[in-house]
Chain A
Amino acid sequence: MNPLEIPPEFHIMVDVGKCQLCGRCVQECSFGALRRTDKIEADERKCVACQRCVATCPQRAIMVVDHPLAFALHGTWTEKNRRDIWKQAETGRALLSGTGTDISYPSLFDHILIDSCQVTNPPIDPLREPMELRTYIGRRPRGLEFVEGDSGGLELKTVLPPSIELKTPIIFGAMSYGAVSLETHKALAAAAHEKGTVMNSGEGGLHAEMREYGQNIIVQVASGRFGVNMDYLKLAAAIEIKIGQGAKPGIGGHLIGEKVTEQISQTRMIPTGTDAISPAPHHDIYSIEDLSQLIYALKEATEYKKPILVKIAAVHNVAAISSGIVRAGADGIVIDGFRGGTGAAPTVIRDHHGIPIEPAIAAVDDRLREEGIRDEVSIIASGGIRCSSDVAKAIALGSDAVAIGTAALIALGCRICKQCHTGLCAWGICTQKPELRRRLDLNTATRRLCNLLDAWSIELKEILGALGMNAIESLRGNRDRLRGIGLDHTTLEVLGIKPAGR
């Protein structure tokens, strides 16, 4: 018994009256917290509250609760502070986490309310009257030119630049193959295909079996350039240059060695078992003109047939950066807010760097309009989009569409146990172990993702109806339909919205 051992966070309770000692829970626990002797015994230090045992026990005999151990309360030295220090003292290493920040910073979405129509401007019936969610992602020309057609009517002369057509303004955000399993990647692609949207390959390249979904995939070109070749670029619907992500602005992707299996090794072209830590910057992008160069390198490579997007983390200067990105020739900007998820990130960066998506979108939208260039590109917001109202609010603040990551994984069963980086995901979502991957049924997963998109799309239509609109573009940048509640004056100004009551 080592007194400096870190106390367990969770407490496992087995109801011996119900327990049949079938041992299912032991099999299902991928963290090694359970074993069977003449009863079920738990090593609670290993429990992460992934709830797999709870969900799979045929007798519903097992329960995981917060460990009742009392930490003497202290306003400055919270339980989290103490645990972090113990871990660092034990290992001498930087703390690493999965999932987006778990610190309760105030959510601005939760302080924004949406207008509704009453009397003077009627709502539109969302069930019976048409509601349009169709959204195009890509560059827009500055105007249109026409010519006289043969039959005397007008014909369009301008050729529109390439774009992605989405049936709903929700796409699946970037999650790399490596961070998530092949089955997860496939389910995202299959659901995107079925629902007329797109998913994002993330920075790990594409497994060969993903090829058939090409037209529903945005492929990422990140600093590690994993899996990037002409084939990869050509099969995609669009290409995204990843500069950063919300969970870890300023640093590159992390895939620990435990998750770099033979298949990952093949896709990423790195040795098995090694850590895939993407470089922090793109080493050919040290200034904005370099970004422009990479954008055009990709455009040339794909004969100008695909939209090129740039993904950045939301940081203080996000408005100016976005302006630069537009002028550098990007066709769209994906802005990933501070609350964005991740398979693995240094905890300190995850919890303290970047800004949330709400002020980021507002600032970018304002700045681009000030410069008269907002309409040239599409803006996609991501980073902690949890529900359809967040989607609506993000669009009203100024984005064309949103990307969801964590929400999609929760649809697949994720319990937010925050252990993605270990590769031990008991739900088969973000693991590479074959015995765990088997637990995610591709058809069920695809169906659940489709259901999520359907449910949110219906809810978005209800929201539009209440707003008296029947086309999503009427909500874009429509700040006047939002009101803040419990927000200070400056925050309201940043968001460009009024307080409720005005």
Chain B
Amino acid sequence: MRIDAKGLSFKELNEKVREAVKSGASEVELVNVNGQRFIGDGLTTPVTIVTRGSAGNDLGAFMSGPKILVKGNVADAAGNTMNEGAILIDGRAGDVLGHSMRGGKILIRGSVGYRAGLHMKAYKDKNPTIVVGGTAEDFLGEYQAGGTIVVLALEHDNGRAIGDYVGTGMHGGRIFVKGAVSKDQLGPGATIDEVTDADRSELKQAVEDYCRAFNVPVEQILSHMFTKIAPVSSRPFGKTYAIQSGDVPPKT
């Protein structure tokens, strides 16, 4: 089903989308999208939404189940607190992509802005994943509590795949970056760790996912060296606060 977003406010557009989903549409295509926010926000059925044009803030926020294909760029906070489902962005994304994500996956063909994967969380089999085809800016994986972030740097303009303060306050999850990462790019709580077999298999799956979505040959990517960034401990701020007077600071 096709909806023309031209001239529609976000409220009007999203009402139409919800109507379409309620009436049983399994695929909804939005054309002439230009900056409308909250597309797919709060949807819980496994519907497919295709957006053509430049999508606005909070695409797929709080969603649990849908698959959103973005043909174009997306603004800030795409996948905000999403719980399940997939967002495939055939373009680039702004800041705080996947903020507080709890499950599902986001694949971005191009680059992302600041604070991607901020406070991603995981539990048992709910392991959210973000795969970035291009580069990521500062504060990637800030306060990450779980989940997996992969940065492929297939396009970049200055040789750096990621920025600074990576994994600042990280206490769970992992970040894989194609190529080398310098220690001075890490934020407090993050460290460079060994890539295990389990990691390799997870990485392979994530990369294959990305390549399938954007028609990119897999072998070129997987043959490269990847750096793994992981938390130093599960309690990075254990030594920051004095709990009681007279207490020995807790060991981490």
Which A residues are in CB contact (< 8 Å) with B35?
A: none
Q: Is the interface of B mostly helix, strand, loop or mixed?
A: loop
**Does A129 sit at the interface, judged by CB under 8 A?**
yes
**Does B91 sit at the interface, judged by CB under 8 A?**
no
**Does A13 sit at the interface, judged by CB under 8 A?**
no
* Chain B residues touching A, range: 10 to 19
Instruction: Say whether B240 contacts A128, CB under 8 Å.
Output: no
Which A residues are in CB contact (< 8 Å) with B188?
A: 127-128
Distance in Å: Cβ of A459 to nearest Cβ of chain B: 10
Which A residues are in CB contact (< 8 Å) with B240?
A: 127, 458
Distance in Å: Cβ of B145 to nearest Cβ of chain A: 12
Given A455-B242, A458-B240, A127 contacting B169 (CB threshold 8 A): yes
**Does B139 sit at the interface, judged by CB under 8 A?**
yes
- B240: nearest chain-A partner, CB-CB: A458
**Does A130 sit at the interface, judged by CB under 8 A?**
yes
Which B residues are in CB contact (< 8 Å) with A125?
A: 142-143, 169
**Does B227 sit at the interface, judged by CB under 8 A?**
no
**Does B210 sit at the interface, judged by CB under 8 A?**
no
- Option from A128, A130, A455, A458 in Cβ contact (under 8 Å) with B143: A128
Instruction: Say whether B169 contacts A130, CB under 8 Å.
Output: no
Distance in Å: Cβ of B52 to nearest Cβ of chain A: 33
**Does B85 sit at the interface, judged by CB under 8 A?**
no
- Number of A-B pairs whose CB atoms are under 8 Å? 22
**Does B64 sit at the interface, judged by CB under 8 A?**
no
Instruction: Say whether B242 contacts A128, CB under 8 Å.
Output: no
- B236: nearest chain-A partner, CB-CB: A127
Chain A positions 90-143 with a Cβ under 8 Å from a chain B Cβ:
125, 127-130
**Does B231 sit at the interface, judged by CB under 8 A?**
no
- Option from A130, A455, A458 in Cβ contact (under 8 Å) with B165: A130
Residues 184-207 of chain B, each 1 if its beta carbon lies under 8 Å from chain A, else 0: 000110000000000000000000
- Option from A128, A455, A458 in Cβ contact (under 8 Å) with B169: A128
Which A residues are in CB contact (< 8 Å) with B237?
A: 127
Which B residues are in CB contact (< 8 Å) with A455?
A: 242
Alpha-carbon distance A128/B237, docked complex (angstroms): 10
- B242: nearest chain-A partner, CB-CB: A455
Distance in Å: Cβ of A124 to nearest Cβ of chain B: 12
Distance in Å: Cβ of A29 to nearest Cβ of chain B: 24
Alpha-carbon distance A235/B184, docked complex (angstroms): 33
**Does B111 sit at the interface, judged by CB under 8 A?**
no
Residues 233-252 of chain B, each 1 if its beta carbon lies under 8 Å from chain A, else 0: 00001001010000000000
Distance in Å: Cβ of A377 to nearest Cβ of chain B: 33
Which B residues are in CB contact (< 8 Å) with A129?
A: 139, 142, 165, 168
Distance in Å: Cβ of A464 to nearest Cβ of chain B: 15
Alpha-carbon distance A120/B240, docked complex (angstroms): 28
Distance in Å: Cβ of B244 to nearest Cβ of chain A: 14
Q: A128-B168, A129-B142, A455-B242 are in contact. List 15 more A-B contacts (CB 8 A).
A: A125-B142, A127-B169, A127-B188, A127-B237, A127-B240, A128-B139, A128-B143, A128-B165, A128-B169, A128-B187, A128-B188, A129-B139, A129-B165, A129-B168, A458-B240
Q: Which residues does A use to contact B, with CB under 8 Å?
A: 125, 127-130, 455, 458
Complex A-B, nearest 5 residue pairs according to Cβ-Cβ distance, in ascending order:
A128-B169, A128-B168, A128-B143, A128-B142, A127-B237
Q: Which residues does B use to contact A, with CB under 8 Å?
A: 139, 142-143, 165, 168-169, 187-188, 237, 240, 242
* Contacts A/B (CB < 8 Å), 14 sampled: A125-B143, A125-B169, A127-B169, A127-B188, A128-B168, A128-B169, A128-B187, A128-B188, A129-B139, A129-B142, A129-B165, A130-B165, A455-B242, A458-B240
